Amino acid sequence: SDKRIELFKKRTKEARHCRNPFPPKIWRKFENSDQKAGSHRVVEFDFSSGVYKVVTGRRVDGKGGNTQTVKYFEKTCSCGKWQCYRLPCSHVLAVCRHRRDNPGSLVDPQFTKRRWAVQYSGKFTPMPHRDTWLQPDWELQVDRSKYIARRAGRVRARRIRNEMDERDPEEPRKCTNCHHMADIPIQADPHPGPFVYDVIPPGSVNRAYSIFHGHIVGDQLDVRRCDRGFWEHTPIPETVLHYIRLAGFGVVLECGYMMIDHALITSLVERWRPETHTFHLPVGETTVTLQDIEVLWGLPIDGPPVTGIDTSHTIEEWRNLCEELLATLYRSLCAATSPLRSSIAGPLVLLQLWAWERIPTMRPDRVQPLEHYPGPYGARWNVQLDLHRVARHVVSIFRDQLTSLRDLQFIWQPYSEDVLASLPAYCTAGRAIWRSVTYLICWGVVEPHLPYRVMRQFGYHQSVPDMRLTENQAALHSLDRRGKGNQNWITTHGAYIDVWTDRHSHVEDGVVAEDPRYPSDEYRQWYRERTVLYVSNPTRQLTFPEGFQGDSARAQYLVSFSYNL
Window from 67-71, 357-361, 484-488, 494-498 with minimum mean pLDDT = 484-488
Mean pLDDT of the chain: 81
Q: How far apart are CA 275 and CA 290, in angstroms?
A: 19
Alpha-carbon 69 to chain mean position: 33
Q: How far apart are CA 257 and CA 278, in angstroms?
A: 27
For the chain, which residues make up each domain, given as ranges?
1-122+164-186, 207-549
pTM given for the model: 0.63
Q: How far apart are CA 223 and CA 231, in angstroms?
A: 17
**What is the average pLDDT across 123-144?**
79
Per the rule left: phi > 0, alpha: psi between -120 and 50, beta: everything else, 400 is alpha
Strand ranges in 352-401 using DSSP code E only, listed in sequence order: 365-366, 385-386
pLDDT at 271: 94
- pLDDT value at 322 more than 50: no
Q: In this predicted model, what pLDDT tens digit does every residue of 198-241 receive, in sequence order?
A: 899 887 788 888 888 877 755 789 998 877 666 666 677 777 77
Q: In this predicted model, what pLDDT tens digit does every residue of 435-471 receive, in sequence order?
A: 999 999 887 888 999 999 999 999 999 999 999 988 8
**What is the average pLDDT across 168-185?**
55
Per-residue DSSP letter, 106: G
Window from 215-229, 279-293, 387-401, 517-531 with minimum mean pLDDT = 215-229
pLDDT at 202: 82
**What is the average pLDDT across 237-250?**
70
CB 413 within 8 A of CB 426: no
- pLDDT value at 188 more than 60: no
Between these two residues, 143 and 278, which has the higher pLDDT value?
Answer: 278
CB 448 within 8 A of CB 439: yes
Cα distance between the two ends of the chain: 70
1: which residues sit within 8 A by CB, 6+ positions away? Answer: none
Between these two residues, 166 and 208, which has the higher pLDDT value?
Answer: 208
- pLDDT value at 317 more than 70: no
Q: How far apart are CA 157 and CA 134, in angstroms?
A: 42
Residue 387: pLDDT band by 50, 70, 90 thresholds?
Answer: confident
* Single-letter amino acid, residue 332: S
- pLDDT value at 561 more than 60: no
- pLDDT value at 341 more than 70: yes
**What is the average pLDDT across 337-346?**
88
Strands 76-77 and 222-223: unpaired
Q: How far is CA 1 from CA 119, 124, 127, 420, in A?
A: 19, 11, 9, 74
| Listed residue (454, 231, 241, 445) closest to 323, CA to CA | 445
Q: How far apart are CA 270 and CA 220, in angstroms?
A: 10
pLDDT at 123: 72
